[in-house]
Amino acid sequence: MAIIHLDITIKGRIQNIGFAFQILKIADEAGICGYAYYSDKDSLKIEAEGEEPILKMFVKKCKTGIPEAHINKLEIKQSAVQNFTGFKIL
């Protein structure tokens, strides 16, 4: 199966609850490569690469897998593969 790249923006009450580190854990467990960073106090940007079914599961867990988070908006765009290795928090 082909690797795809998603640009994901998650907005809501997600800081100071370990949200980014939970995203890192989910990505590592699924074998997703890329990175995540806070672009402002209530917005996390993620660039993620993997097989489409795995990325769909990743996005679902980003929305619902972290009970302390209150997601207001989730934006997803597909873009060119960057061939990342591993997943990290910037």
Q: Please report whether residue 86 resides in a domain.
A: no
Q: Please report whether residue 22 resides in a domain.
A: yes
Residues of the chain with pLDDT under 50: none
Q: Please report whether residue 62 resides in a domain.
A: yes
pLDDT of the residue at 40: 86
pLDDT of the residue at 43: 94
pLDDT of the residue at 65: 72
Q: Please report whether residue 87 resides in a domain.
A: no
In this structure, are residues 48 and 6 in contact, taking their beta carbons and an 8 Å threshold?
yes
Task: Provide the residue range defining the domain that includes 16.
Answer: 3-77
Using CB atoms within 10 Å of the CB of residue 9, give its burial: 0 to 12 exposed, 13 to 18 middle, 19+ buried: middle
Q: Please report whether residue 82 resides in a domain.
A: no
Instruction: Give dist(CA 14, CA 36) in Å, integer.
Output: 13
For the chain, what is the domain count? 1
pLDDT of the residue at 64: 84
pTM assigned to the model: 0.93
